[in-house]
Amino acid sequence: MSNSMLDTLTDPVNDPVVDPVILAASPKCTEQEACAIAAMFDIHPEVACDLGSERDRTFLLHDSSGAAVAVMKVSNAMEDPATLDMEATAALHACAVDPSLPIALPWAVPGGRGHRARWTDGDNVHWVRMYDAISGHGKRPAIELTDEALVDWGTVTARLGRALRSFIHPAAIRTMPWDVQHTLTCRPMVPSISDPAARALVTRTLDRFESNVFPRWPMLRAQVVHGDFTTDNAIVDDRGRVVGIVDFGDMSHTALLTDVASLLDSLADGRPTDELGRVARLVLDGYQRITPLEPLELDLVGELWAARIAIGIAIASWRTELGLQKSAFGSRYQDSAVELLDGLLTIGWEALAAQLSSSHGSGEPADLIKRRSEAFGPGIEDLSYNEPLHVSHGDGAWIVDVDGRRYLDAYNNVPCIGHAHPRVTEAIARSSRRITTNLRYLHGSAVELAERLTAACPSTLDTVFLVNSGTEANDLAWRLATTFTGNTGGLCTRHAYHGVSSAIAAFSPETLRPEDMPSFVERWHPTDTYRQEHLDESSFAAAVERLARAGVAPAMAILDGVLQSDGVYDLSPALVQQWVAMTHAAGGLWVADEVQGGHGRTGDAMWSFSRFGIEPDVVTLGKPMGNGHPVAAVITRREIAECLAARTVFFSTFGGNQVSVAAAHAVLDVLEDERVLPRVVATGGALRAAMREVAADFDCVGDVRGIGLANAIEIVQSRSTREPDRETALRLKEGLRQHGVLVGTTGPAGNVLKVRPPLAFNESHIPTFATALSRSLADLHTRIDPQ
């Protein structure tokens, strides 16, 4: 091939030179000659069948009985011997790493001269290699592969990639246009595509590659890969499953994903457009059983797939035009490949990425809001904010919306150690990759979690139940309490929230209309530290008294130790101790609901009840326990659990499953490793100081209070009246959102701003919060009093 042709094949960015092998013709070698050449490997076949190859000659050799004895490859004259040596060592390496991979291995040349023997066809020197013949079907049409086979192909490809992970060879650094890494070297070949429609499809694909894939290519995982694991290079059994991997001739150091691209190109051949997503997902499922793809890889896999098809069309057209290839060999690329590429482009890049990563739920906000209300009906709570937050992802104390705007999250306590903490996400992924079962099977992680939880509690609390939500935990607490005490009444604070089940909704007056308040639950006023009301036990005593008058004794009194729904107050330990004693005196159990206050929220201890110097009879955990993954627990005394056990058996399908347990362990680990509790104390103190400083000039801020990172700003009509001002609190919440900070509102009058960030919120976030608060307050003032 002329040098000028080589010169035209340059990558516009990297300017590499194409491997000359792509330009050279196949060796001239007859089937009779092939039988004779085989003697160099000490075999004497009777028949040689040409298997067809793009640039080499490959023969299946049979002995006189017709049995296949070996596969012989006569290489293209331009083939670099170093590349051939790489192929041989790579096959041997992969087989050594994963011995059950069915790789066709190269034969050593008799006499110990490596794996290639020299042969000349008169003009050119060719290297000859001999491989094990694997029995099975070669070049099976992809359309015949069953779904099970598609998954298997994905798995084998991933195993092959894994087996080559530790392989390196200088010859792997090469510029092969087949390697998707060098897609853009195909540009000069595009004019050879005779069909204008096909040419347009290839051009669109290359343009997309250049603008969207090429810039991100350096971020993709790279290694030496097989690069051409396709139906042309595999032997399959009757069920279409891979029993032989052949031809390492396209190996190079490139993105791992190029293996997937060539696989999809091959396996989707002949499938209709509406099947492409499903076929690719099955292949990817198989692949990801071994090697999960990274988010960027999932984003780009469809585009690499398209690029690989485009490369195929361009190279085949170009080689055909130059007479290097019979047009019959290239015709696949003018027909089914064009159809396949057309199919992918019809789906569209974004939709393709969504289909391949199985992501759901795209849509414009207005449409989604409508669909949300149609799908869920009126029963669920409204979206927050006048203009709902359309979230995309989170990171530490930040939430990012679909438009990329970052919000400082000062509201969500569930992602306690921070949004998307890698320890938790990885624990969940790793664990779910292994197994998810239930507590009927023995697994140590659930046992260890229970041990860790009891170790973090007073020694009397020695028994754990694992459940799935705060509601379930409280529901079980109620069941334990009624069973143990024989009583049927309950006590909770006057604006409490403890959950949604029938039993626990009765303990959630925050969500009940006055006329729906059940008669078996009485409510008491916790201390309002701002107004200095309910400082003693009289409200509690009156609630017990009301129960008694109704002929009911309390089975339990339940308290959220940070009073999130009642308005966030710091209670006096002496008073709480009195409440506990009065509950016990009335025959009830004390339930510490740590769904809000637990897992380090207060900073001074793991559980908020510790600050009161009490020993609850039952502790319930939820929300932060799995950092967003649903997992919850009840911790109690053995005698209380025994009482339930005497009557029934407790089993929760998901309670204690390995994945939830892994999430819960990860949270506990991070709380320790990052020394979260002391950080919460320091951050909480600094945050309150900053809030007080900002609020000092604003008469509508009546009180700033809190414990650790459970904080509140109480909004009033004026400091002199201390009258709650719900409207202004809501406007501030909206204003803060406009300034990029998320808070909520709470309290019986809805006038308390709830500042309850993930515990990943640290002192570095305070200036952002303080600035937004100051601006929101100033905006309010401007609007109220425009002078």
Residue ranges in contact with ligand PMP by CB under 6 A: 469-471, 474, 497-500, 560, 564, 593, 595-596, 622-623
Among 293, 233, 213, which Cα is nearest to 257's?
Answer: 293
**Residue 500 or 730: which CB sits closer to ligand PMP?**
500
Q: How far is the CB of 307 from ligand PMP (least distance, A)?
A: 46
Compare residues 564 and 762 and give the one whose CB is closer to ligand PMP: 564
Q: What's at 506, amino acid-wise?
A: A
CB of 270 to ligand PMP, least distance (A): 50
Between 302 and 622, name the residue whose CB sits nearer to ligand PMP.
Answer: 622
Looking at the Cβ atoms of 592 and 732, the one nearer to ligand PMP is: 592
For ligand PMP, the closer CB: 124 or 511: 511
Judged by CB, which is closer to ligand PMP: 187, or 498? 498
Closest distance to ligand PMP from the beta carbon of 774 (Å):
29
> Shortest approach of ligand PMP to residue 622 CB, angstroms?
4
Judged by beta carbon, residue 339 or residue 570, the one nearer ligand PMP is 570
User: How far apart (Å, rounded) are the C-alpha atoms in residues 62 and 565?
Assistant: 82
Nearer to ligand PMP, 333 or 569 (CB): 569
Degrees (nearest 5) of the Cα angle 293, 297, 299? 120
Phi-psi region of 136 (alpha: psi -120 to 50; beta: other; left: phi over 0): left
The CB-of-468 to ligand PMP minimum distance in angstroms stands at 8
Q: Which residue is nearest to ligand PMP (CB)?
A: 470
CB of 270 within 8 A of CB of 143? yes
Q: Is 114 exposed, middle or buried (0-12, 13-18, 19+ CB in 10 A)?
A: middle
Cβ pair 532, 522 in contact under 8 A: no
- The C-alpha atoms of residue 144 and residue 550 are separated, in whole angstroms, by 75
Q: How far is the CB of 560 from ligand PMP (least distance, A)?
A: 4
267: enclosing H helix or E strand: helix 257-267
Is 73 or 498 the residue whose CB approaches ligand PMP more closely? 498
Minimum Å distance from CB 635 to ligand PMP?
15
**Residue closer to ligand PMP (CB basis): 55 or 498:** 498
Minimum CB distance to ligand PMP smaller for 580 or for 710: 710
Question: Residues 638, 601: contact at Cβ < 8 Å?
Answer: no
**Shortest Cβ 518–ligand PMP spacing (Å):** 17
Residue 623 CB, nearest distance to ligand PMP (Å)? 6
List the structure tokens of 341: 């590429």
Least distance (Å) from ligand PMP to the CB of residue 620?
7
CA distance 604 to 562: 13
Tokens representing 762? 């640290």
Strands (E), 279-434: 391-395, 398-401, 406-409
**Minimum CB–partner distance for residue 510 and ligand PMP (Å):** 9
Q: In 388-492, where does DSSP find H-type helix? A: 422-434, 444-455, 470-485
User: Can you give 540-572 as a three-state secondary structure string?
Assistant: HHHHHHHHHHCCCCEEEEEEECCCCCCCCCCCC
How near is the Cβ of 253 to ligand PMP at its closest, in Å?
49
The continuous run of DSSP H or E covering 408 comes out as: strand 406-409
Going by DSSP bridges, is the β-strand pair 741-742/406-409 parallel, antiparallel, or unpaired?
parallel
Which residues, other chains included, contact 490 with Cβ-Cβ below 8 Å and sequence gap of 6+?
478, 481, 506, 507, 520, 521, 522, 554, 555, 556, 557, 558, 588
CB of 380 to ligand PMP, least distance (A): 12
Q: Angle at CA 307, nearest 5°, toward 304 and 310? A: 155
The token pair at 551 is 């002929």
> Which of residues 159 and 498 has its CB atom nearest to ligand PMP in the complex?
498
Compute the distance between CA of residue 245 and CA of residue 581 in angstroms, rounded to an integer. Answer: 75
User: Cβ distance 554 to 482 under 8 Å?
Assistant: no
Report the distance separating Cα 94 and Cα 157, nearest Å. 12
Q: DSSP letter for 73, please.
A: E
> Looking at beta carbons only, is 247 or 560 nearer to ligand PMP?
560
